[in-house]
Amino acid sequence: MFAALHAAAPRAQVGDLVAGYRLLRPLGEGGMASVWLAERAEGGLRREVALKLPLAVQLSPVLAERFARERDVLAALDHPNIARLLDAGVDAAG
């Protein structure tokens, strides 16, 4: 199943703009997503962030629900040793 997702997804590259963030370098990749070091490309803030990108071009309803659940859990966490969720959404490419 995941091999088909990888084949269908365009690969993110250093310098790509995704929803207002510029990708700086990959940090890791799992079965459903890759995580990138990115920086805000718009506005005055130049904060570095970790940006998680699904590997599938279009998420199935099951995968979309998993990402939504993960978003909700991360948004509720507040601990100094856990990264804070700053933003979540879907870019123009889906």
pLDDT of residue 55: 80
Structure token pair of residue 5: 């997702």
Q: Does the pLDDT of residue 8 top 70, yes or no? A: no
Residue identified by tokens 């997503």 is 33
Q: Is the separation of the CB atoms in 88 and 71 below 8 Å?
A: yes
Q: Give the pTM.
A: 0.75
pLDDT of residue 2: 46
Report, as an integer, the average pLDDT of 68-92: 86
Q: In this predicted model, what pLDDT tens digit does every residue of 15-73 receive, in sequence order?
A: 999 888 899 999 999 888 899 999 988 777 788 999 988 887 667 788 888 888 988 99
Distance of CA 3 to the CA centre of its chain: 19
3-state SS of the chain is CHHHHHHHCCCCCCCCEECCEEEEEEEEECCCEEEEEEEECCCCCCCEEEEEEECCCCCCHHHHHHHHHHHHHHHHCCCCCCCCCCCCCCCCCC
- Residue 13 has, within 13 A of its CA and on its CB side, a CA count of 1
